Structure 1
Amino acid sequence: MKAKRLIGLAVGTILILMMWKTFSQKGVSHLDTNFREVARYRNENNTGPVRRVYVVAVNDTNWTDLEAYGNFQPHSKLGTTEVFFFLEGQDVPTTLNGSAPYFSSSYNQQAIAHYEKNPSGLVSFKKFPFR
């Protein structure tokens, strides 16, 4: 009887710790920069490479936060994830095409950074691209 209580207590403690760790992980809301997703695209291919593209307006150019935001975005094995960052208040694309270029070149001058995670999971973060 005592052994069952100890096992139950141990299992209960482990479950509580697992739940606490799950719900206390840091995310986008823990970053100092304010992010507003303006547009997104995801192809409907669930059996092959998945392409995700996001346009995000930010209130600051904290490069560490911008790269962290990209790292928080979903990524599929052999898929690509791209995030285009624009300053809040500037002209920002609101619709995206399914292939590059994802938006009109008239927005290229307003873009402040580009994040990409390629099919191998390698990250590329470029400041002030498209010039």
Structure 2
Amino acid sequence: MKKYFLIGVFLIIALMIYSMFSEKNIHDLEGGFKEVAYTRNENNTGPVVRIYAFTVEDTLWNNISQHAELLPHTKYGTTEAYYFLAKGKYPSEISLNEKRFDPQFKKYCIAKSVTDGQGRTTLNRFPFRE
């Protein structure tokens, strides 16, 4: 009986380890995503706000959407990500103020994603085009 119990425990642990390493993560996506800027508010008692800027090799919208959904988010906080083509211009700094980055880069932004505190992600293509 003890032998079967140990075999069962071993199988469960093996399945857990397999599950950990087989999960899809940001590094598995195609598109050459590279983080070029990041900021976060230091308020640990209220909502956490994370803001990222990434460059991508191509506008593979499905990959950009998956990438946005895999970014970390906090309950009652928000995560914003701005995507730029790697061949174009992009900001090297991003801030928490309303402008987020220098307005000269707005025309190079190909996508913006926002994940709210409930985990809902919205992706806007070309968010600053008029």
TM-score when normalising by structure 1: 0.94
Partner of 1:125: 123
Question: What's the offset of the Cα at 1:99?
Answer: 2.3
Aligned to 2:76, what secondary structure does the other structure show? coil
Aligned length in residues = 129
| Candidates 26, 29, 34, aligned match of 2:27 | 29
User: 1:84 is matched by which residue type in structure 2?
Assistant: Y
User: Which runs of 5 or more structure 1 residues have no equivalent in the other structure?
Assistant: none
User: 2:69 is matched by which residue type in structure 1?
Assistant: N
| Candidates 99, 102, 125, aligned match of 2:100 | 102
Superposition pairs of residues 61-76 of structure 1, within 5 angstroms: 61-76=59-74
Partner of 1:56: 54
Partner of 2:78: 80
TM-score when normalising by structure 2: 0.95
**Deviation above 4 Å: which 4+ runs of structure 1?**
none
Aligned to 1:16, what secondary structure does the other structure show? helix
Provide the rounded CA distance (Å) in 2 between the counterparts of 1:59 and 1:77. 31
User: 1:26 is matched by which residue type in structure 2?
Assistant: K
Partner of 2:9: 11
Provide the rounded CA distance (Å) in 1 between the counterparts of 2:99 and 2:118. 21
